[in-house]
A and B are shown apart, each in its own frame.
Chain A
């Protein structure tokens, strides 16, 4: 079946611009996670949704970062007034999170470059 998809795959933004990154999870997956991966590092947790409810946003680095999943499917990560330190790959992962199936499957990521 179709995996997790993300768009755009690449985004270049000038410092101060707003960006919106989209994630389409695997159909039927209840949980959705956003991670940030800096070059040469492991992914770092940003936020987590269970259906449409944002249950954990402890990893969002500042109030410029905002995520939503209004209908419990597609999610959008928005970054306002981008800064150079926001440059990274933003990964989305989804999980069925039911019936003992907790594996997280990742999308290809969006590479954000802030100039």
Chain B
């Protein structure tokens, strides 16, 4: 089955700097890759997603890139703010609308 690995497990950045989180997946049939942000005690919130027919997607300060050949995808947050501090999870699905396989998460701390 699908396996998703996520790095780093923790990331500390200074406010205003960029943050990059990377994930790799094992199943070449996976075609949908969402990213979720989860604050302590709260629900995971979808922040951006990408499908396998696209190499990059941007939404304001957030961008995701996908390299299907290497089977990895990354989350890029620019101009980080203290409110970006949370746990970020990447996920992969082998079929649109199917179950998600999650990475272990990255704790992002933005220091002001």
Contact = CB atoms under 8 A, between A and B. Distances in A.
Interface of A: 4, 31, 33, 35, 40-45, 48, 56, 59, 91, 95, 97, 100, 102-109
Interface of B: 6, 32, 34, 36, 42-46, 49, 89, 91, 93, 96-105
27 contacts: A4-B43, A31-B97, A33-B99, A40-B105, A41-B104, A41-B105, A42-B6, A42-B89, A42-B91, A42-B103, A42-B104, A43-B100, A43-B102, A44-B102, A45-B100, A45-B101, A59-B99, A91-B44, A103-B34, A103-B46, A104-B100, A105-B46, A106-B36, A106-B43, A107-B43, A108-B43, A109-B43
A40 to B, nearest CB: 8
Contacts of B42: 108
Interface SS of chain A: loop
Contacts of A102: 32, 93, 96-97
Contacts of B93: 102
Contact of B34 (A44, A56, A104, A108): A104
